[in-house]
Amino acid sequence: MLKFDPHSGALYAFRGRRGDLLKILWWDGQGLCLFCKRLERGRFVWPQAKDGSVSLTAAQLSMLLEGIDWRAPVRTWTPEAAC
């Protein structure tokens, strides 16, 4: 039991056993919505849940949905030293 109110607007994310499938449940005020995404390559990086649940920021959720390791994201561009 997660002990959260499903009508609060929170998202509930679940990952498949192989790690390439992600399902998100959300109550939109009228009904329950299901968002499902499967990665063709790679795996969703899943956070460790010590107490049964994990709270993510919007940025962390965005990176999770893209298959990026949100704990240590790699920048594609590094700023140069200022003159």
What total of structural domains would you count in the chain?
A: 1
Domain extent at residue 27: 11-66
Tell me how far apart the alpha carbons of residues 32 and 77 are, in angstroms, rounded to a whole number.
39
Please give the single-letter amino acid code of residue 80.
Answer: E
- For the cut 80, the answer to whether the pLDDT of residue 83 exceeds it is no
* 74 in any annotated domain: no
Q: What angle do CA 24, 35, 56 make, to 5 degrees?
A: 35
The answer to whether 66 touches 58, Cβ cutoff 8 Å, is no
* 83 in any annotated domain: no
- For the cut 70, the answer to whether the pLDDT of residue 75 exceeds it is no
pLDDT tens digits, 2-44: 677 777 778 888 988 998 999 999 988 899 999 999 988 888 8
Tell me how far apart the alpha carbons of residues 50 and 41 are, in angstroms, rounded to a whole number.
28
The answer to whether 21 touches 72, Cβ cutoff 8 Å, is no
Q: Please tell me the predicted confidence (pLDDT) of residue 22.
A: 93
